[in-house]
Amino acid sequence: MERLAVGVVRTAHGTAGEVRVRSYSGEADHLLRLAEVVLRRGGAERTLKVEACRTALPDVLVKFAGIDHREAAQALAGWELCVDRSRAAPLADGEYYATDLCGCGLFVGAERVGVVTAVCETGHAQLLEVRTGDGRTVMVPFKDHFVGEVDVAAGRVELRDAEVLR
């Protein structure tokens, strides 16, 4: 079973053990249907059952079984919510899970010029963190102006202009 990180616990909410969760996709519907999640931070993981879930835009308020006090809820801040891929937000055409882009080669024509090592969220656009062939790390905006065809199955991301790597 492959797990995807779908959100992060931001902080405690109230005094009864609820937490504020920010969805990585910006969508909440898939989070509202969760019955169980794996929380992950660093190398640690723990599985928790979801007792209740409701929207409080832009976040989702989640009550986990056994987390009944503010202090216990606050201790979960910074933990990622991970779910089976089938429970993650559905993808529209042209959308990709960040984990699927990581490891893809970055190509200009037939030449491999780097590899995607991470996907970073910013206010305006996602950025692909790319390690170039000469070992540098470069941030490439994941926008049509810079990135062409993406073929996750083939592990290939097309770069429209190599100048962005300079």
What are the pLDDT digits (tens) for 105-137?
Answer: 999 999 999 999 998 877 777 899 999 989 999
Model pLDDT, residue 85:
87
DSSP reduced 3-state for 95: coil
pLDDT tens-digit readout, 52-97: 999 998 899 999 999 999 999 999 999 999 998 888 878 888 888 8
| pLDDT confidence band for 1 (50 / 70 / 90) | low
Model pLDDT, residue 161:
83
Task: List the 156-159 sheet strands across, edge first.
Answer: 137-141, 126-132, 111-121, 105-108, 156-159, 147-151
pLDDT reading at 165 higher than 90 = no
Domain at 3-87, CATH from 3.40.50.620, 3.90.420.10, 2.40.30.60, 3.40.1260.10: 2.40.30.60
Which residue from 121, 160, 130, 156 is spatially nearest to 144, judged by alpha carbons? 160
Alpha helices in 10-146 (DSSP H): 29-32, 70-74, 98-101
- Residues spanned by CATH 2.30.30.240 within the chain? 98-161
Model pLDDT, residue 113:
95
- Residues spanned by CATH 2.40.30.60 within the chain? 3-87
Note the pTM of the prediction, 2 decimals: 0.73
Question: What's the mean pLDDT when you consider all of the chain?
Answer: 92
Question: Is 98-161 CATH 3.40.50.300?
Answer: no
pLDDT reading at 50 higher than 90 = yes
